[in-house]
Every structure is written in structure tokens, then in C-alpha cells.
Structure 1
Amino acid sequence: MDLDPSEHTIDELRDELDGMDDPEALEALREAEADGENREGAKEAIDERLESVSDDGDEGDGNESSESGDGESSETEGREDAPESDGTGVGIIEIRNHVRNAASDLIGRPLDGIVEIERDDEGWRALTEIVERSSVPDTQDIIGRYALDIDDDGRITGYRRLDRYRRGDTRRDEEPQVPR
């Protein structure tokens, strides 16, 4: 195996996986990730590619069904690069999935949640909450609210911390003012 997943960010790994068609090599890569850094986003990216390669190999066996058990097409299920149906670029679901997979790796702390995603003139903006310090009880966790800027192709182009607060702080119920 020439590819070491620990040497790549999840986005870089996704790019490298696009050229891989060998299910055995992908399985070995997933095992290396699980034994190494064990990043959920990286394992999901490898699983998605493995599923894509497996689906391509099933086309000639007479099994024409491309529906997964939940009624969604397996071709677009979970892919961050699936375009919106109107062809204008990635959609909100793809942006959400990408932010979910990349935010904790980018910022270096666990993702607590995605608060908001909106489209603007320059692309997309996502507000996330990241656990900056875990505490017991968890109401004393320190949470950082981050804005991530995402271009029309779904690539994160920047991020910044907007605020820090304790999880139990009730002032969080107010709408924050987000500088742009």
C-alpha cells in the first residue's frame, strides 16, 4: 500500500481515493486508518469509495436496483461531491456532511454540532460548535462557536472563532451577531 492515510487531511484523502479502484487496497487503507489515527471522517471517505467501487463492479451481474434500504439512491448517498439537482454546485446536505466530516479535523477538537448553514454571495457559511474543553458535569464544558467559509465547490476556504462560552450558559439562546 503506497498511501498512508495519516499523512493526509480528510479532503486530501478523498482526492487520493478517487483514483483507487481496488477493493482490497481500500480495505487495507481503512484498516490502516482504524489502527492509526482512527478518524471517523477518513473511515467514512474510504467506506464511500469502497461502496462506489463495489457498486461499479455489480453493474454487469443483472442486479439493476440502485436503491438502498432507505429509498435513497446509493450513488449519491453520503457523497460530498454530489451536485445539487439543478446543477449549480453542491447542495446544503453535501455542505452539512462535509462540515461534519472536516470541522473537528480542521479545528483540532471534537464537533459538538452544526448550528447554522446558509448560502451567501461568496458561497456557504456554516456555524459550528466545538468542544474546546470537556468538563464534569458537561454543563461546564467550554464550547467555541466557529464560522466556516465554504466556496461553491464545497471546499472550506477559512474559519474563525466567534465566541466561547460554557455549555450551561443560558445567554446562548439569543441570536448571535456574526461578523462577516
Structure 2
Amino acid sequence: MSNTKNTPDSQDSQKTRESQQSQNAQEPQEDTDQHMAQEQRPSPMEVLRQARAQLAELTGLEPEQVSSFEQTQDGWSLEVEVLEIARVPDTMSLMASYQVDLDPRGQLTGYRRVRRYERGRADARRS
């Protein structure tokens, strides 16, 4: 036994749903391709994790932090801080900043060291 009534309003609602379903079934192929491309694009957090892991594998240095992160026309660009030489006390350890470039899928395409500094030293203030 059903509690629904077969009224003109419910028939219109059913027709609207059927119409939307048939339109969705006939979406152009490029919408589907675009949707699939978006599903394959990693999230920013996934990009960060991949960048850190790939840089560590290539350099043998463990990234400590990501100090800048931006999406570019060609993919992603990050600046990653790594410990290059551990010293005692820790504030005298030698750190380095690496610029890391990744493609849109988060695969490392290049890196370079852009700066070396002692952990305890701050950058000079610019006015």
C-alpha cells in the first residue's frame, strides 16, 4: 500500500526528474573529460606531501617545513626548508631553502637551493 497520491503536481515533478536524468545522460564528452581531469588533479595537501617526499628522496635531506606554496601556470612552486648540517647547539645548525617546481599532477620537475643560513639567524629587516 502506498501513501503517495498521483496528482498533477506529483506527475509534473516526476516529469522534471526524468527530463533532468535524460539531460545528464546526454552531457557532452568534454564535460566528462574535464570532470575526470579534475578528479586526477591532487589537492594542495597532496601536492605538499608529494613534494616533501620527492625532495627527500632526491637530496637525502629531510624537509622541515614549507615556507611558501603557490599554484603557477605550469603547476606548483614551493620553497622548502631543510636541515643540511646538524650542529650543537641546534641554533647553529646549517639550514637551506630549496625552490621546488612540480607539474599540475604534483610530480617534481626541478629543484634548486636558493639560500643557506644558520638556524638561529633571522633575515635582515628591509625598510
Query: Which bracket does the TM-score occupy, shorter chain normalised?
Result: 0.5 to 0.7
Q: Does structure 2 retain, via aligned residues, the 8 Å contact 1:133–1:141?
A: yes
Instruction: Kindly state the Cα deviation for residue 96 of structure 1 after the two structures are TM-superposed.
Output: 1.0
> Contact 2:51–2:102 at 8 Å: present in 1 too?
no
In structure 1, distance between residues paired with 2:57 and 2:102:
15
Listed as ranges, the matches of 1:5-154 within 5 Å are 86-87=38-39, 89-154=41-106
Larger Rg: 1 or 2? 2
Q: Return the offset for 1:121.
A: 0.6
Name the % identity: 29
Give the strand-richer structure, 1 or 2.
Answer: 2
Give the Å deviation of 1:136: 0.5
Equivalent residue of 2:49, what SS?
A: helix
Deviates more, 1:102-111 or 1:147-156: 102-111
**4+ runs deviating over 2 angstroms:** none
Tell me the alpha carbon deviations over residues 84-106 of structure 1, each in whole angstroms, 9 at most, x when there is no partner. xx547222111011123222211
Q: 1:62-112: CA deviations, max 9, x gaps?
A: xxxxxxxxxxxxxxxxxxxxxxxx547222111011123222211222222
CA distance in 2, matches of 1:171, 1:96: 25
Mapped partners of 1:172, 1:110: distance in 2: 26
Name the TM-score, length of structure 1 as normaliser.
0.46
Q: TM-score, normalised by structure 2?
A: 0.64
Q: Is the 8 A contact 2:56 2:62 kept in 1?
A: yes
SS of 2:53's equivalent in the other structure is helix
**CA offset at residue 173 of structure 1?**
7.5
Aligned length: 91
Over 3 Å counting, the alpha-carbon distance change for 1:108 and 1:173 in structure 2 is farther
- Cα distance change on mapping 1:124 and 1:99 into 2, 3 Å: same
Match of 1:58 in 2: none
Q: Which sections of structure 1, spanning at least 5 residues, go unmatched?
A: 1-85, 175-180
Q: 1:139 to 1:117 in 2, by over 3 A?
A: same
**What's the CA shift for 1:129?**
0.7
Higher relative contact order (CA 8 A, sep 6+): 2
**Once the two structures are superposed, what CA deviation does each residue of 1:111-148 show, in whole Å capped at 9, x if it has no partner?**
22111211011100111011110001110011010011
Give the aligned partner of residue 109 of structure 2: 157
